[in-house]
A = this chain, B = another copy of it.
């Protein structure tokens, strides 16, 4: 499997996680910052290899084979992110780009040894679950901070937006995985939140609150 094929599978996998229905050509093109015509070409190829169910004009979904392949790429991506943060001391906003490269390294033995070396983590530095060697995922139920009400409390267990900009913002506000967050006030006018993180009180917009997972 080429890097490109792997990237398409991964994108379809991620899009499936949110929408459930068949994925459109345009949705893939947008996410991958490529053109719809390029996507069509690739979908034909992936379909030929039985990695996706593709019907002209009707969108695409992963076959079981394609789904497992996608999970293995996600597994590698997230394990490498753990390695970078826990062993090499990278911060969580620096690792995604490098993991985008490392996820394409081909060696089952390598990834399984890496998994052991890291102590078989179940989540990556952004709180996303790591599929095991068989593709199994332990799902942790988590809610967005934006869905919380006044006086509720929880622990930050993940982020929805994993962009470097957003993660750096969280660093600045001293919000990290494990941080305890308490909703002090919810402003009805703009749905912003007044929250306590540790011993500090800060105000975050609804957009921010919609990208932090709490449990």
Contacts and interface: CB of A to CB of B under 8 A. Distances in A.
A87 interface: yes
A17 interface: no
A49 interface: no
B113 A89 contact: yes
Nearest to A117: B88
Interface stretch (A24-32, A99-107, A129-137, A159-167): A99-107
Interface of A: 84, 87-90, 94, 97-98, 101-102, 105-107, 109-110, 113-114, 117
Contacts of A113: 88-90
A98 B76 CA distance: 14
B110 A98 contact: yes
A101 B105 contact: yes
Contacts of A88: 110, 113-114, 117
Contacts of A102: 105
Nearest to A112: B88
A76 to B, nearest CB: 12
Contacts of A106: 101
Contacts of A97: 107
A109 B106 CA distance: 22
A105 to B, nearest CB: 5
A98 B90 contact: no
Contacts of A89: 113
A109 to B, nearest CB: 8
